[in-house]
């Protein structure tokens, strides 16, 4: 029982991070209908931005590990990544807007490889793992035989807050209405006076900011950060987004949590633990075989 509870807490933490990254994937997919492979590298850049900001912020606030400092670091890193996301969309994806989706997908893979290999260059971040500073004071709690830390609580809380914020933006604001319109029918939306390019830029910015925050949270739980740190969580989050039905915000969160919890439980079984990297994909394939549109996605009928 304790083991179950402990795994549940671990799985919830992991799943929340996946969910946060999946939110970004799914939002971009919603408006542009393509998989932004560079998303996982934005996550890595977010973590590195935090690494380089931390000493400056600590000096400015007169001490490390303050809550204000952590918020400031996360906000600046998210802002930087949002700008970068907008820039990538503008330079690499926008010229391909009318091209087949496959061309855009390959470009996205190209952008992802470009960021990864540039970051691995020794004059940039170098390929070695770097220690990630502690941003917040950490407390440990014990309930019976179950241990958890303040980070374990923080991650799901941030994810929930972000989901709420995204839901509010998409459902309640004018920009959100425009986003949904672009997602529904780009041409019709532009005829109704929606500035499609601006909406797409905004979506990229928002998604990249989410990735940066997810990257910082991931780095707080991981032992260190390196230029390829985004690949595995990015892949899992992408699976989570597909699992929940890509383009669907609550679906991304459900997919992320399901994946995180299942992976932790199955990975905790001794003879399965070394297959951990394959488990996520096996779950995905199984679910897609029975629900091809994902858990919360609507099955669409192709019209001719």
Partner 1 sequence: MSLPGAKRWLLLGIALAAVASHFAHSPELGLNRYYLGVAVDVGIAIILAVSLNLINGHTGQFSLGHAGFMAVGGYTAAKISLLISPAGEAAWGFPLALLGGGLLAALAGLLVGIPSLRLRGDYLAIVTLGFGEIIRVAVQNMESVGAASGLKGIPKYTTLGWTFGLAAITIYVITALVNSTYGRGFIAVHDDEVAAESMGIPTTRYKVTAFVTGAFFAGIAGGLYAHHKQFLSPTGFDFLKSIDIVVMVILGGMGRTAGVAAAAVILTLLPESLRAFSEYRMIIYSLLIILLMMLRPQGLFTFQRKQGGAS
Segment 152 to 191, residues that bind partner 1, using CB under 8 A: none
Indicate which single residue of 22, 238, 244, 263 sits in contact with partner 1 (rule: CB under 8 A): 238
Based on the shown chain and the rule CB under 8 A, indicate whether residue 101 belongs to the binding site for partner 1.
yes
Under rule CB under 8 A, residue 254 binds partner 1: no
Report the DSSP beta bridge partners of residue 143.
146
Binding-site member from 1, 60, 68, 102 for partner 1 (CB under 8 A): 102
CB nearer to partner 1: pick between 187 and 300: 300
- What does R_g of the chain's alpha carbons equal in angstroms? 19
Nearest to 255 by CA among 264, 246, 267, 266: 246
Using the minimum distance from each CB to partner 1, give the nearer residue, 205 or 234: 234
- Which residue has 């906000």 as its token pair? 75
Minimum Å gap between C-beta 117 and partner 1 is: 4
Work out which of 56, 117, 136, 148 binds partner 1, going by CB under 8 A.
Answer: 117
In the block, tokens 């707080």 appear at 220
State the number of binding residues for partner 1 (CB under 8 A).
43
What SS3 state is found at 142? strand
Give the DSSP H/E element, type plus range, for residue 237. Answer: helix 231-244
Residue 224, Ramachandran bin (φ over 0: left; ψ between -120 and 50: alpha; else beta): beta
> Rounded to an integer, what distance in angstroms lies between the CA atom of residue 200 and that of residue 115?
21
C-beta separation of 42 from 212 below 8 A: yes
**Can you list the positions of beta strands (E) in 167-287?**
224-225
| Torsion angle (degrees, nearest 10) of CA 87, 235, 230, 297 | 60
Span from 4-12, 108-116, 141-149, 191-199 in contact with partner 1 (CB under 8 A): 108-116
Q: Does residue 269 interact with partner 1 by CB under 8 A?
A: no
228 binding partner 1? (CB under 8 A): no
Q: Which of 2, 67, 71, 118 binds partner 1 (CB under 8 A)?
A: 118
The answer to whether 90 contacts partner 1 (rule: CB under 8 A) is no
Q: Which residues bind partner 1 (CB under 8 A)?
A: 34-35, 92, 95-96, 99-107, 109-111, 113-114, 117-118, 121-122, 235, 238-239, 242, 246, 274-278, 280-282, 284-285, 288-289, 292, 302, 304
């Amino acid at each position: 029982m304790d083991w179950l509870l402990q795994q549940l807490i671990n799985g919830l933490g992991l799943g929340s991070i996946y969910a946060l990254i999946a939110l970004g994937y799914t939002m971009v997919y919603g408006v542009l209908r393509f998989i932004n492979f560079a998303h996982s590298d934005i996550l890595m850049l977010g973590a590195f931005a935090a690494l380089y900001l931390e000493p400056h912020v600590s000096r400015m606030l007169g001490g490390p590990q303050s809550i204000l400092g952590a918020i400031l670091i996360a906000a600046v890193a998210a802002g930087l990544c949002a700008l970068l996301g907008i820039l990538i969309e503008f330079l690499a994806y926008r010229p391909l807007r009318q091209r087949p989706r496959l061309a855009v997908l390959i470009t996205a893979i190209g952008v992802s490889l470009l960021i990864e290999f540039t970051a691995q260059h020794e004059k940039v971040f170098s390929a070695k793992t770097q220690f990630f500073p502690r941003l917040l004071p950490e407390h440990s709690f014990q309930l019976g035989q179950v241990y958890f830390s303040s980070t374990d609580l923080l991650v799901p809380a941030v994810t929930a807050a972000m989901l709420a914020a995204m839901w509010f933006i998409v459902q309640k604001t004018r920009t959100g209405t425009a986003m949904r319109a672009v997602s529904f029918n780009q041409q019709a939306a532009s005829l109704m006076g929606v500035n499609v390019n601006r909406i797409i830029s905004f979506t990229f910015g928002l998604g990249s900011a989410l990735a940066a925050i997810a990257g910082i949270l991931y780095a707080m739980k991981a032992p260190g950060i390196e230029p390829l740190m985004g690949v595995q969580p990015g892949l899992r989050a992408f699976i989570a987004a597909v699992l929940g039905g890509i383009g669907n915000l609550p679906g991304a969160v459900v997919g992320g949590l399901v994946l995180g919890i299942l992976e932790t439980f199955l990975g905790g079984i001794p003879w399965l633990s070394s297959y951990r990297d394959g488990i996520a994909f096996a779950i995905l394939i199984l679910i897609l075989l029975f629900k091809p549109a994902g858990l919360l996605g609507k099955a669409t009928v192709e019209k001719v």
